[in-house]
Amino acid sequence: MRKFLVVGGRLAQVIPALGKWSLALLMATFLASGFAAPAKKADPASALPFAAQACLKCHEPEQIGKFIAAGKPLVRHSQADDLQKSVHVDLDCTDCHADRELLPPAGADPKSKEAREFAIAMSESCRDCHNKEAKKGDGSVHAARLRDNQMQAPVCADCHSAHSVNRKVVEGDACLACHKEALGLHAKWLPNTRRHLEAVACAVCHAPAGKPMVVLALVDRGTRRQVATGEGAHDYADQLTKADSAGEGLDPVELRNLLALVNTDAKLPPVGLRGRMELVVPSDEHGLADNTKALRQCASCHVARADAFQRVALSYIDAEGKRVRYPANREVLTSIFSIDSLREFYVIGGTRIELLDVLLLLAVVGALAMPIGHQLIKRLVVSQGEAEESAGDDQPKH
């Protein structure tokens, strides 16, 4: 009974005009639609909360035109297929859409002034749950431009999407979707530009308040996509526990053993590593600064024992779609056993196997010693021969 009262309260926020009869009328509509005809296939919204399912009975594409506002059909729907796969699957519609008067424009171009005003207004609802991230975003260059009435400045939904937001979706850089000129601009001063943009998250240089680290992602070697726990896949949490029995973070040997462990099943795609520099606290990416404060010092990374390489983690995606970081020792980037990690993430001057440096030095010394030693021995032999000949000449002749 309590659940029905909570649901009724939320629905009454959406349609207050129905007053105290909103619960009875909507529940009757919901139940009647459910018994009217046998379902031909599973309802894609079945994973959503009960109140959200009630909303979907009207707010679906086939119901477009049934609501009238200012003489125009309200073209708005729930995108239930995306919503049930997103991290917001447990939310009710009214958790974000509590303001019944705040509606998207009917059939408006997404880039129109009306559509942008709606997106900006809706972004305020994100603060209810993501206040910490929102405060970081308030200090960003994006927020500053928005305050200067630059309507196309990004808001939450531009990077995370409105309904299909997912941890795997925000894993990569969303920046390049809008900043398509970034490659050309960076190429004017940054060597090996494309590789830098692939291996270094934009926020590492453009969010100076954040601290960088190296993240080694477990990926499918064929597709280069990050692997996920699930049906017909590895249980990476269990395998990490086996590899790191002491629970102190992966050392070089344990990382090598883990890769061997996840590649024992020939039926599954081979798993490798993909190295990338990211921020220790991912939400610090919201504090993007303007270009004048961007990091441009090569020595920040390309120097022995650079700060960024003191923090390392391994990452994978769990069964819920959450990107998990598992701690690793910084030696996984510098050990003789770290060929797999260095193959994917090697920075000249920053990540190096010191033992190989010693072997290289010995090889150079050995290469120089051979001709020098040969010449020294030759001189000794020649000198000794000349001395013997001279001694023979000094002997009296009979």
Q: Is the pLDDT of residue 375 over 50?
A: yes
28 and 100 housed in the same domain: yes
Asked whether residue 317 is assigned to any structural domain, the reply reads yes
The strand pairing partners of 276, in sequence order, are 215
Helix (H) or strand (E) holding 140: none
196 and 161 housed in the same domain: no
Determine contact, residues 336/255, Cβ cutoff 8 Å.
no
* pLDDT tens track for 96-126: 887 766 766 666 666 778 888 888 988 888 9
What integer pLDDT is reported at residue 98 of this predicted model? 79
Q: Is the pTM of this model over 0.85?
A: no
Q: Letter for the amino acid at 253? A: V
Average pLDDT over residues 313-325: 87
The pLDDT-based confidence of 14 (bands split at 50, 70, 90) is very low
Q: Is the pLDDT of residue 157 over 70?
A: yes
179 and 311 housed in the same domain: yes
153 and 66 housed in the same domain: no
348 and 209 housed in the same domain: yes
Containing structural domain, residue 159: 108-166
184 and 312 housed in the same domain: yes
37 and 130 housed in the same domain: no
Q: What percent of the chain has pLDDT over 70?
A: 73
Q: Letter for the amino acid at 85? A: K
68 and 212 housed in the same domain: no
3-state secondary structure of 260: helix
Whole-number Cα distances in Å, 389 to 25, 277, 380, 397: 124, 71, 14, 14
Single residue among 89, 105, 121 that ends a domain in this structure: 105
The chain-wide mean pLDDT, for the chain, equals 78
Asked whether residue 361 is assigned to any structural domain, the reply reads no
Q: Tokens 């080694």 — which residue?
A: 216
226 and 311 housed in the same domain: yes
99 and 114 housed in the same domain: no
63 and 153 housed in the same domain: no
Determine contact, residues 206/289, Cβ cutoff 8 Å.
yes
Structural domain tally of the chain?
A: 3
Q: What percent of the chain has pLDDT over 90?
A: 26
180 and 311 housed in the same domain: yes
